[in-house]
Chain A
């Protein structure tokens, strides 16, 4: 199964129809939706620290559209927090990006794509994991 991970700007672009990258990120969501309809194994997740950074409150009406896209939370639980802390100590990236790194490193998926405005940081936080970067 391919795992698709969203970063902060991808989330913000998805939520805001006036964002210059909105259509680009919606295109990714549309491709995922079409593949799911064809029973292709693909899942989109948002690390919860990314959701905090982006201001994605699932109870807020402003986030109805992203809420309806079946994007699962990847929680910052105890093991993820420890991995993320290690990544942050190693690299100095943001808390949200460190959580993305923890999600990548703990994923058992054979294919991982990160939709991001910062490919270099994503490659850094991924460590030894092979990832595909969809730059927005």
Chain B
């Protein structure tokens, strides 16, 4: 709870800085504030509690995921200063919106009541609509914002409808009570319908197949930093929330539901990967790769009772790699019209360090050892085989092989082609964020127990 209050306070503070004309210091101060909030989250880890009639429930699950979100936000805020170079007058707005978005994210994983869950998702989404359309003069950015808004509000509507049905069945919004009731033998038939609708809405947010059509356009059109936010932070927030919802709603998912999850998971991996093979725009490519990673993360739902640690690990590995990748992409495409793969030609010569970092992130996403991505996939495979879903694992393995095809397209461009222009100066933060994120990723890969056992 303290975390949530502190985050909101920090967001308001950011807006006040604008009035006080403190713009220069806004990024460092926000980062320091977020670090303090990280400490606060840590202190809450071992102190589960519930607040305001169970509106907010702080648990190990919520505080560890919140910590991940805070870390990701720190990186995103750090990148903001140079990204919004030309919009210095609006920087406080952008940063404040990001902080409010973080508040929404934390609310989404620590809700104890469906009303709070819906509030969280709306706070997060509305911040994102604004960020997606934040390049006002760019028509693509406008399109992205509009599309995301339409799709997102549609999804929110479906979620709301689902919540209504659940309320109709249970007579309460409180998660703990719903959990108790859902174990009783007689459930009205609209209770599973409600769960399905909420799940569908969340799958929209995660961009799992077949609810993924908005993702590539929105990712491509949005400003690169917003794309980074969507593909890392928002994706793992939505995934964690879905996990929490499903664990709370019904401890034992029915077979039919499991089968649907299997189909969606395999379809997301496959469609995402096959579409990614054809892309020449890096942002679009990462959008499709994100869809396939969503498919991988959905595997965690198959053995829902004990996979929280694995999901946290996968989410951390994926999002840290994503942040590092986007730091490099932001650097490479800083003064470019688009994000074509051709822009990466010869990066290995021009800037070996950045090229090495991007290579590392791609290898992590492809699941090559010592990077955290390997253990992330391995523990998911392990747990799915244990639960008896060998088919999903085989599909996942085949997809991992396909994914190498497009991840390596970038590596080939960086190391196999000649550079087409002069070296440009890199702002220090891009280096710092890229290197720190990939080092964290490698550290997770070397000591996976640190995260895996958090929620054990």
Q: Is the pairing of A and B real?
A: no
Q: Which residues of B contact A (CB under 8 A)?
A: none
Q: Which residues of A contact B (CB under 8 A)?
A: none
